[in-house]
Structure 1
Amino acid sequence: MSYDPPRPAGRLLLTPQDSEAPARARRLYGLGLGERPEPALDSFAARLAGLTGTTYAMVNFIGEQAQFFAGLHAPETAPVVREDGTRAEIGRFLPRDHGFCPHVVVRRRALALGDVRDYPRFAGNAVVDDLGIRAYLGAPLLDSTGMALGTVCVADVMPRSWGREGLETIKSAAAELVVRLERQAGDGLPI
């Protein structure tokens, strides 16, 4: 597998360089993660969406070339209608240069964006226009080896004020989930 570094957009680097991507892909493979949707992770995402009152919630594993939502909660009918009349639906895969999770993984810290349009670095991201994402809250899934496997995140189509409570909720969810993932992978059990 090869890894293409991110491309600069003018002087602004939209997707951070991720030197751990190859090692992360191997770790995810060893844990049996990031290759298929997991019903238990879909349930986890649905609970997280309920806790935060958001439109979308994801358990996202970041590989070398793409992001994969092994856990996904999204409405049956996408809330955003594009100019051409189609609905902006979120699928299981996103390119690495879409969204905000690659930033969380490289930063290794939670990221709260109340209105992504207020941040020049994030306002031009494809998910803003393509999917109508206006607010994002995510935390890294840091495993026992110290590797950031991906994220637990929520997103909404309207600006949000996350506050300390939102940050604590997303960080707790990430910490809880990574322990569960490692325990179950170590026991050879399905998630």
Structure 2
Amino acid sequence: MPKSTSVKVSSEIETSIGFPKHALHSKEADRLEALRNYQVLDTPSEAAFDNLVRLASYICGTPMSMMSFIDDKRQWIKACNVEFDVKEVDRNFTFCQYALQIDDVFEVPDAQKDPLFQHYPSVVNDPNVRFYAGAALITPDGQALGTICTIDTEPRQLTAQQRDALRILAKEAVTHLELRRARLQLEQESQKLDGLIRMANDAAQSMFMGSRNEIFVKQEHRLIRVHTEDIRYVEALGDYVNIYTSRERYTVYSTMKELETKLPAREFARIHRKYIVCLDRIMAIEGDSVQVDVGRPQDRQSPTLIPIGNSYKSILLSRLNLI
């Protein structure tokens, strides 16, 4: 790549490449909005991105590589393969701001001989940049968020294979960004749904303080209303509980203690650290177990037996009408 390429590209940018100023400002506003939607600025290091910059250095044979994002006034460094004291630099003194503007690898063979970059602090002072090559991180919507770049303190030029590898690494970085954003969105939606469940249960609890005859449970991103009169028994299962009704089983993320407070106390009893049963559904007590009517005709020939914990037995018996 000839030395004049970086000067030519930057001069085209500085003359707005024929676009009116208001169009450029609109495009930059869209780009910045896209960047913030990825929620990646000022976040801790992540192995996926650290590995990509290490690969960039291995492939290009350079001592330093990094992945960074360009905000309105700064370049913020997400990953770097060497210890770097600063996490952000003034956007006006970055190579990456120019790499952001083109669809191909932006390469500066010798920054000390390039009039555009020879007075940059990073060229004059530590780390004494001579060579730079960067590929833009372009989203599926066409927004350039930042770059993955590789740097050397000696002049050089990439081979065609190395430039191609840098393009591939940039696309791989965007793929990780997309997956990261999707995961964050799922987590946020899950938190919202959990909040709705809490609100719904709190509302139900306040409306039916006397009888509390229904609860809401989350099943596959849906809120399902379950009438407590239809619940046969509840079973603890690690961090989850199974709620058995006459028709089906619901598995929800909760604790037995939390669920116990939402069920009508006069209708349900804790009979074991792992079980809560509906008193009206107890058909028989056999030794240290209770037989529960689960309401499904196909199950009545093999009754459901639930163990009674020693510390719960006397409380259970006291609540039953014994003759």
Q: 2:34 aligns with which of 27, 34, 43?
A: 27
Any conservation in 2 of the 1:24–1:63 contact (CA below 8 Å)? Answer: no
3-state SS of the aligned residue for 2:58? helix
Q: Give the structure 1 partner of residue 161 of structure 2.
A: 165
- Larger Rg over CA atoms: 2
Q: TM-score, normalised by structure 2?
A: 0.47
Pair 1:46 & 2:41 matched: no
Any conservation in 1 of the 2:75–2:94 contact (CA below 8 Å)? Answer: no
Matched letter for residue 118 of structure 2 = A
Structure 1 residues 96-152: Cα deviation after superposition (integer angstroms, max 9, x where no partner): 012210001123432112212232222222221122000001000010110001101
Q: Distance in 1 between matches of 2:176 and 2:85?
A: 26
Q: Distance in 2 between matches of 1:21 and 1:56?
A: 28
Any conservation in 1 of the 2:52–2:169 contact (CA below 8 Å)? Answer: no
Any conservation in 2 of the 1:59–1:71 contact (CA below 8 Å)? Answer: yes
Q: 2:66 aligns with which of 48, 55, 58?
A: 58
How many residues align structurally?
Answer: 165
Q: TM-score, normalised by structure 1?
A: 0.76
3-state SS of the aligned residue for 1:123? coil
CA RMSD of aligned residues (A): 2.4
CA positional deviation for 1:179: 1.7
- Structure 1, gaps ≥5 residues long: 1-11, 77-88
- Relative to 1, partners in 2 of residues 1:134 and 1:37: Cα closer, same or farther, differing over 3 Å? farther
- Structure 1 runs, 4 residues or longer, greater than 4 Å off: 15-18
| Segment of structure 1 superposing worse, 95-104 or 37-46 | 37-46
Q: Give the structure 2 partner of residue 141 of structure 1.
A: 137
| Segment of structure 1 superposing worse, 48-57 or 135-144 | 48-57
Q: Distance in 2 between matches of 1:109 and 1:168?
A: 9
- Relative to 1, partners in 2 of residues 1:125 and 1:109: Cα closer, same or farther, differing over 3 Å? farther
Pair 1:126 & 2:121 matched: yes
Answer 1 or 2: higher relative contact order, Cα 8 Å, separation at least 6.
1
Q: Distance in 2 between matches of 1:94 and 1:53?
A: 24
3-state SS of the aligned residue for 1:161? coil
Higher helix share: 2
3-state SS of the aligned residue for 1:106? coil
| Segment of structure 1 superposing worse, 148-157 or 44-53 | 44-53
Higher strand share: 2
Q: 1:152 aligns with which of 136, 148, 163?
A: 148
Identity %: 24
Q: 2:182 aligns with which of 170, 173, 186?
A: 186
